């Protein structure tokens, strides 16, 4: 039997000639969606800070709609969006310089509008979301994290070695 890492299927995501994988097999040249394999979607959480200049109702709604469209286009789904207390308009820990069209200006922001958003998306598709965020001038900072879901069995498996040790001593 082949080692596990050599038995995995290989995919080529570009339209160029098929690439050879580590096992020496040729790829089919099709994407996983065309082969019937779905990319695993994960739950993510993003916190981003919107410029106070765009922190009115229309500006926040425009930024949220742009991110929502990007996630929908990539095949993801948006969960909860929170910009109420304790989020919303807050003082920043340090001043952040404004960038207009990629160039730094003289304006430093000392407060921003915080937004927390949960979404589900494929791991490879998060890159496109980051690209959209970087092209949005009104977003000063952002942080995307993966939400780790712990199974119900994690507490019972941690307690199991202790129970085995107690029974072996008796």
CA–CA gap between residue 95 and residue 109 (Å, rounded): 5
Q: Give SS3 for 22.
A: coil
Q: Which of 150, 88, 144 shows the shortest CA–CA distance to 115?
A: 88
Higher-confidence position of 74 and 165: 74
Instruction: Say how many C-beta atoms besides its own lie within 10 A of residue 89's C-beta.
Output: 12
Q: What is the dihedral of CA 81, 87, 90, 95, to 10 degrees?
A: -60
Q: What's the pLDDT at 3? A: 45
Residue 142 has pLDDT above 80, yes or no: yes
Residue 29 has pLDDT above 80, yes or no: no
pLDDT tens figures, 98-116: 776 666 677 889 999 999 9
Q: Give SS3 for 87.
A: coil
pLDDT tens figures, 60-77: 999 999 999 999 999 999
pLDDT tens figures, 74-94: 999 999 999 887 788 999 999
Which percentage of the chain shows pLDDT scores above 90? 44
Exposure b/e, 155-170, CB count within 10 A at least 16 = b: eeeeeeeeeeeeeeee
Q: What tokens does 113 get?
A: 């509008």
Reported confidence tier of residue 160, pLDDT bands at 50, 70, 90: very low
Reported confidence tier of residue 37, pLDDT bands at 50, 70, 90: low
Instruction: Show the domains of the chain with their CATH numbers.
Output: 9-38 (no CATH), 41-146 (3.30.70.60)
Residue 164 has pLDDT above 60, yes or no: no
């Amino acid at each position: 039997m082949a080692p596990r890492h050599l038995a995995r299927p290989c995919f080529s995501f570009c339209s160029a000639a098929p690439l050879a994988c580590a096992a020496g097999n040729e790829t089919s040249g099709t994407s996983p969606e065309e082969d019937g394999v779905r990319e695993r979607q994960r739950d993510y959480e993003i916190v981003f800070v919107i410029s106070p200049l765009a922190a009115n109702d229309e500006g926040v709604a425009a930024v949220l709609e742009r991110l929502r469209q990007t996630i929908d286009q990539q095949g993801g789904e948006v969960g909860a969006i929170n910009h109420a207390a304790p989020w919303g308009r807050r003082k920043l820990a340090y001043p952040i310089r404004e960038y207009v069209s990629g160039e730094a200006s003289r304006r430093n922001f000392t407060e921003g509008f915080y937004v927390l958003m949960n979404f589900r998306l494929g791991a490879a598709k998060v890159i496109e979301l980051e690209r959209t965020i970087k092209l949005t001038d009104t977003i000063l900072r952002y942080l995307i994290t993966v939400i780790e879901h712990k199974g119900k069995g994690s507490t019972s498996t941690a307690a199991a070695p202790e129970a085995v040790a107690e029974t072996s001593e008796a």
